[in-house]
Amino acid sequence: MERIGDGSSADISHPSTTEFGGEVPSVSSNLFLDHVGEVVLNLNSDGLSWKPVGTTHNDMSECTCLGIKLTSKVETKIKFSNIYAVELINGGLVHKAVLPNSGGCLLGRGSKMYRFVVHGVQRSKTNCSLWVLATCTFGHTDLQTCQVWINRINDSINKEVGRPKNLLIFVNPLSGKGKGRRTWETVAPIFSRAKVKTKVTVTDRAGHAFDVMASITDEELNSYNGVVVVGGDGFFNEILNGLLSSRHKAPYPPAPTDFVHLAENNNNVYDANDTIPETPLQNERDPLLESSGPSRPGFSTCRTEACADQDSIFPFPNENFSLGIIPAGSTDAIVICTTGARDPVTSALDIVLGKRVCLDIAQVVIWRKTSSSRGAPSVRYAASFAGYGFFGDVIKESENYRWMGPIRYDFAGTKVFLEHRSYEAEIKFLEAKTENENQIHEKDIQRSWTRSLWNPPKKSRRLACCVNCSVCSGSIKSICTPSEGPIKTDDTSEALRWLQSKGRFLSVGAAVISCRNERAPDGLVADAHLADGFLHLVLIKECPRALYLWHLTQVARKGGEPLNFKFVEHHKTKAFMFTSIGDTSVWNLDGELFEAHQLSAQVFQGLISLFAVGPGV
């Protein structure tokens, strides 16, 4: 064991074992810990541990430190994986111990010390999804001793893999009733403390971030470890599309054999198995989006020449590049699904600590905006949800009440619910391996449900996504494995079979993830996972308003069973094609609106890496 210090502090004992699995500590010295007194601080390969001089472990169970009450001896250690910064602070007094029996010599009044702060995190005691900051101030009369400790700790945390060093940040100042900038100011010190370089862009219009992401060269993008969005789901969607639109090369989603798309202007026949063309697909502006800003794009594409000419050096998935979200929006479903909380500090800490999960992404191809349009197809990406009918109408209506802030969704939702509109459509979807099993299971439940309306149905088997989710990690071996998609139509080993649902629908939804949010605590589809490689189609057939209300109340209830109704179909699928018949609603993609008379969608498993740990249960 190596000792740091000039011997001015009290003698240290030489523990033969430590808190870390019996390993002998490599470094140890006596320091003064704020609010505790003199401690023996040990550093070994896992982290730091400390013990007040002259106390036993049992005494430690009552000690107060880190600005919080420590309730057990296990909290007298912190792993390097939970430390994000260490810094020297101005000399000053180290406060006396709060424990009368902390032992050792306490500093007398007026004794000056050099001090350094270890910035760490720990899980909240009341909500296991939340990180709380845990700071620990150590002092010593010798500056050199402090400096050696700082260097040692820094060396160790620099060895932690996957921590970002350089990030591109986009702040939407208008998110969630104008709280984007304030949210960034709250968490910015975490990034500077962790010595993460940030290039911050506060957007000045809708589409600004999309333009930057679409036009930035791959070379410049590669100089960053990721892009962090300070805003809501819609803003994240904008950046996701800016990132992928010009870089993600993949065929269109598979389509039923009878599908042909003839584009009028150039007589091009688009085959669903074509790779998406490199040239801009569509430069029309989406009239639905006009009201939101003067130059908001319909997410066509705006690649600059500089970018268009080069071969992509930006693979997906990309283990060196992750997206991050610091929630500041009105819904923040993606953050809630990926962190289990809606807390800017937790998200910022996940980012600086380099925690990552893989995220499925849906590619949506709009073949026809209206029944008569014959333009070339255009492509968008979604991270959480694509919804039509009720979901589209609510977002469209809510745009008129943006000034209300998040409450606009409740207001618009009530209005649209009372109108009770349904839309005729045909949905063809690929049969998933488990589909038969699901259908049988769901039919059983539906039968029992309709037989006895007053008895609650048997709970369906649910396996919600969680931290270290076995479904997601079973599907994706590591974040650097290539994604499974696209789905191949010529895959003879397992013939693709198309199933169909046709009729009048109150809504058609495809959830990529569970879409948990404050109005739907289990999400729209409770057992949709972050990276299960499936789209979860939820088709709500026309039904009496009272039953639809019943369904909605189940969505809004923790432990509710919104899928267990006769008029609700739930299908896990890899791809689907939607065609409207007659009147059309609008589509809502991660909260963003667009028109589509006909579209197809497929999922890319684990396409994106996101700074998060997954939801606590």
Ligand X SMILES: Nc1ncnc2c1ncn2[C@@H]1O[C@H](COP(=O)(O)OP(=O)(O)OP(=O)(O)O)[C@@H](O)[C@H]1O
Q: Residue 585 in 3-state DSSP?
A: coil
Q: Which is nearer to ligand X, 233 or 442 (CB)?
A: 233
Can you read off the two tokens belonging to residue 234? 């819609």
Q: Which amino acid is at 421?
A: R
CA–CA distances in Å: residue 338 to residues 283, 443, 467, 525 = 33, 31, 9, 15
Minimum CB separation from ligand X for residue 402, in Å?
Answer: 8
Beta strands in 163-305 (DSSP E): 166-171, 197-202, 226-231, 261-262, 269-270
Q: Which is nearer to ligand X, 297 or 354 (CB)?
A: 297
Nearest to 499 by CA among 411, 424, 584, 426: 426
Q: Which is nearer to ligand X, 336 or 528 (CB)?
A: 336
From the list 34, 46, 233, 527, the catalytic residue is 233
Minimum CB separation from ligand X for residue 65, in Å?
Answer: 37
Q: Which is nearer to ligand X, 331 or 507 (CB)?
A: 331
Nearest to 203 by CA among 297, 273, 129: 297
- C-alpha 34/C-alpha 579 separation (Å) is 66
Q: Which is nearer to ligand X, 208 or 571 (CB)?
A: 208
Minimum CB separation from ligand X for residue 567, in Å?
Answer: 27
Q: Which residues bind ligand X (CB under 6 A)?
A: 172-176, 203-206, 208, 231-235, 238, 293, 329-332, 591-592
Backbone angles phi, psi at 409, to 5 degrees: -70, -35
Burial classification of residue 282, based on how many CB atoms lie within 10 Å of its CB (0-12 exposed, 13-18 middle, 19 or more buried)? middle
- What is the full DSSP assignment across 141-196? S-HHHHHHHHHHHHHHHHTSTT--SEEEEEE-TTHHHHTHHHHHHHHHHHHHHTT-
Minimum CB separation from ligand X for residue 186, in Å?
Answer: 16
Helix axes 208-215 and 233-244, enclosed angle (nearest 10): 20
Nearest to 568 by CA among 538, 526, 544: 538
Other CB atoms within 10 A of residue 320 CB: 15
Q: Give yes or no for a contact between 353 and 80, defined as CB atoms under 8 angstroms apart.
A: no
Q: Which is nearer to ligand X, 47 or 234 (CB)?
A: 234
Minimum CB separation from ligand X for residue 309, in Å?
Answer: 27
Q: Give yes or no for a contact between 247 and 317, defined as CB atoms under 8 angstroms apart.
A: no
Q: Which is nearer to ligand X, 60 or 530 (CB)?
A: 530
Minimum CB separation from ligand X for residue 228, in Å?
Answer: 13
Q: Residue 130 in 3-state DSSP?
A: coil
Q: Is 46 a catalytic residue?
A: no
Minimum CB separation from ligand X for residue 339, in Å?
Answer: 14
Beta strands in 474-520 (DSSP E): 498-511
Active site residues per annotation: 233
